[in-house]
Amino acid sequence: MAKKRSEFENTYKWNTKHLYASQEEVMAEITNLENKIKEYAKYENHILDSATTLLDLLNLDKEVGMHLERLYIYGHINNDADTKDVYYQELFGKIQNVYTKYLQATAFIVPELLKSDFKVIEKYLKTNVNLKEYTRLLKDIYRHKEHILSGEVEKALSSYAKLMSAPDEIMGTLTDSDLKFSNIIVDGKEVELTESNYSVYLRHPNREVRKQAFLSLYKTYGDFKNTLAVILRCQVEKDVTSANLHKFNNSLEAALFSNEIDPQVYHNLIECVHHNLEIIYEYWDLKKKMLKLDQLHLYDTYADVPLKDDTSYSFEEAKDLVLKAVAPLGDNYKEVITSAFTDGWIDSVNNEGKRGGAYCTACYSVHPYVLLSYEGKLNDVSTLAHELGHAMHYYYACKYQSYEDYNYSIFVAEVASQVNEILLCRYLLDNSQDKGEKLRIIDDLLQKFKSTIYRQTMFAEFELFIHEFTEAGNVLTYQNMCDKYYDLNKLYFGNKVIIDDEIKYEWERIPHFYMNFYVYQYATGFAAAVYLANKIYAGDKKVRDKYLEFLQLGCTKNPIDSLKVAGVDMTNAKVIDEALGFMKDLIKEYRELLGSEEDGK
């Protein structure tokens, strides 16, 4: 049974007093913000009366934004640290109410600005030098102008915002709450199969358990194919309609516009992965050998490989490994991560009521905060390195950029975290004397390639199909979606794997298909990280310095240009080719280690 949070040493818990020293301070902040938010009203219909008025509004928004961000982080992380704590449940609810008031109070700003031409802003920028720090923010607002409809239309559309999210909400409710799967037999006992424990049984060492779980899950999804097809069709039609209304050429262009990503990056990813499918086919062949199977079915592809590795790591050992792994990034990088361990950035305890998973969050005026529940496995060490990568990205962006410019694009969000993870893996591989540990490290890396590049690209290709199919005037049905999804599985798994018929229903349970072209960023981010980490680990100081410069950019450049600063051009397939070449090398090393282990028996 998990211990209460109070039973753990503070050394392993984050220090929220760096945000607010007392509850009195928090309540005073809430009152202060509620009063400040009322000040927005005097600017409505007057934003562009003068350069001074515009500056006053932007300064107000900066002040409110910084304080609200700090308050929100405080409520958010305290609530996550112990979700059973009623005080923080209520406090976070109050803070969310303040945030809602802020959104309502500021809803007029962008539509009012866009009523005028950017020439007015350019004039004000020249006449009032203090507006300079808001240049990128203002340019980005006006970049959207040609895709913004009239104020009345946008207001009407915004009133339907909740309805627009209905397909995602309905799908989630149906799949998480209402779908019931037939029970399966595990170790001689009948157990209930759910969406949440499905992945556990799909990794089970007993093949019959894996097969039962696979068939039970997808038989049920097959029974709901018509309903889920209609739900996903509504989502796609919403995306397509919104793109058309906002004068985009297609839904892909519309989805990528906010991050300033050329759709060619998306197409390049799919094309490049197609050219490198032989590598994943080789991985499936290796997996079959490791599992000692004559045939590899889809329900075998997630099974844990039986490796002789029971290595565990204390938190202090994990800290030491992370610090040694990031050493190639220089003394300053290492010093800051050291302070993360000593200055209350990290919450690693596994207490009762703690939110599951791991994340890093940050506000501009205080250091980042990292949450995880550390249990001493290799995956926990990797997670620690991963989240500290996010923390360092936030740290450098906050240090070198203004509040308006520190928050980097989601397109580059996973680069720093994955660079840290890969540096850790490279360090462990070069310094471990245990073959079992080495095999585990490589196996984990190979699974990451499989799930992050190949699987997410397959998802991206399916998502592109359902949108383009709809844009061509066709109607999505369960049949054409099942057919396409089955064909994609045949393509991405090849003839090394038996493509079980039931996989054609998997699209029904993927929540990312309701996130409008999001998943491709997992693959591009990971590929960029592999490209950078390998060069940094090899001692390329020029790449290291450019990478550190990239971490400092925030959103001052668009994400493609930001990565170019680090020496990564995501419009060039070379980046993905090199990343997948590393996967090929790992497969070779895995085979060699496996061979030497067998020779030693």
% of the chain exceeding 70 in pLDDT: 99
Return d(Cα 421, Cα 533) in angstroms, integer: 9
How far does Cα 274 stand from its chain's mean position? 24
3-state SS track over 85-130: CHHHHHHHHHHHHHHHHHHHHHCCHHHHHCCCCHHHHHHHHHHCHH
**Matching residue, tokens 């529940």:** 373
Q: Return the closest-CA partner of residue 236 out of 411, 477, 457.
A: 477
Token readout for 235 is 């989502």
Asked if 547 contacts 532 with a C-beta cutoff of 8 angstroms, the reply is yes
Per-residue pLDDT tens over the stretch 400-430? 999 999 999 999 999 999 999 999 999 999 9
Q: Return the closest-CA partner of residue 522 out of 514, 512, 532.
A: 512
Instruction: Return the pLDDT at 156.
Output: 78
Instruction: Return the pLDDT at 601.
Output: 47
- Sorted by sequence, the CB contacts under 8 Å of residue 357 that are 6+ apart come out as 371, 372
Return d(Cα 74, Cα 91) in angstroms, integer: 10
What is the torsional sign of CA 47, 53, 55, 59? negative
Asked if 77 contacts 143 with a C-beta cutoff of 8 angstroms, the reply is no
Instruction: Supply angle C-alpha 153, 159, 161, rounded to 5.
Output: 110
Among the ranges given (97-111, 227-241, 265-279), the one the predictor scored with the smallest mean pLDDT:
97-111
Q: Which residues of 302-318 are buried (b: 16+ CB within 10 A; e: fewer)?
A: bbebebebebebebeeb
Question: Domain-by-domain residue ranges, the chain?
Answer: 5-163
Token readout for 91 is 């406090």
Asked if 31 contacts 98 with a C-beta cutoff of 8 angstroms, the reply is no
**Matching residue, tokens 């349970």:** 509
Phi-psi region of 473 (alpha: psi -120 to 50; beta: other; left: phi over 0): left
pLDDT score of 551 more than 80: yes
Task: Clarify whether 387 is annotated catalytic.
Answer: yes
Instruction: Return the pLDDT at 600.
Output: 46
Q: Return the closest-CA partner of residue 234 out of 326, 171, 285.
A: 171
Per-residue pLDDT tens over the stretch 280-336? 999 999 999 999 999 999 999 999 888 776 788 999 999 999 999 999 999 999 999
What are the Cα distances from residue 189, in Å, to 185, 186, 194, 196, 205?
A: 5, 5, 16, 19, 16
- Sorted by sequence, the CB contacts under 8 Å of residue 290 that are 6+ apart come out as 305, 306, 594
Better-scored residue on pLDDT, 434 or 26: 26
Q: Is 242 exposed, middle or buried (0-12, 13-18, 19+ CB in 10 A)?
A: middle
Return d(Cα 412, Cα 568) in angstroms, integer: 11
Residue 436: band (very low, low, confident or very high) from pLDDT cuts 50, 70, 90: confident
Q: Does domain 5-163 have CATH number 1.20.140.70?
A: yes
Q: Return the closest-CA partner of residue 85 out of 352, 357, 371.
A: 352
Residue 498: band (very low, low, confident or very high) from pLDDT cuts 50, 70, 90: very high
Per-residue pLDDT tens over the stretch 14-53? 999 999 999 999 999 999 999 999 999 999 999 999 999 9
Which of the following is catalytic: 29, 387, 437, 463? 387
How far does Cα 504 stand from its chain's mean position? 26
**Matching residue, tokens 């004559």:** 294
Instruction: Return the pLDDT at 597.
Output: 56
Amino acid at 331: D
Q: Return the closest-CA partner of residue 576 out of 413, 457, 408.
A: 457
Token readout for 184 is 């399966």
**Matching residue, tokens 């100081």:** 541
Residue 235: band (very low, low, confident or very high) from pLDDT cuts 50, 70, 90: very high
Token readout for 141 is 């607002």
Give the chain's length.
601
pLDDT score of 599 more than 70: no
How far does Cα 215 stand from its chain's mean position? 29
pLDDT score of 64 more than 80: yes
Q: What is the DSSP string of 526-569?
A: HHHHHHHHHHHHTT-HHHHHHHHHHHT-TTSS-HHHHHHHTT--
- Sorted by sequence, the CB contacts under 8 Å of residue 167 that are 6+ apart come out as 231, 232, 234, 235, 238, 514
What are the Cα distances from residue 218, in Å, to 167, 169, 215, 224, 225?
A: 21, 21, 5, 10, 10
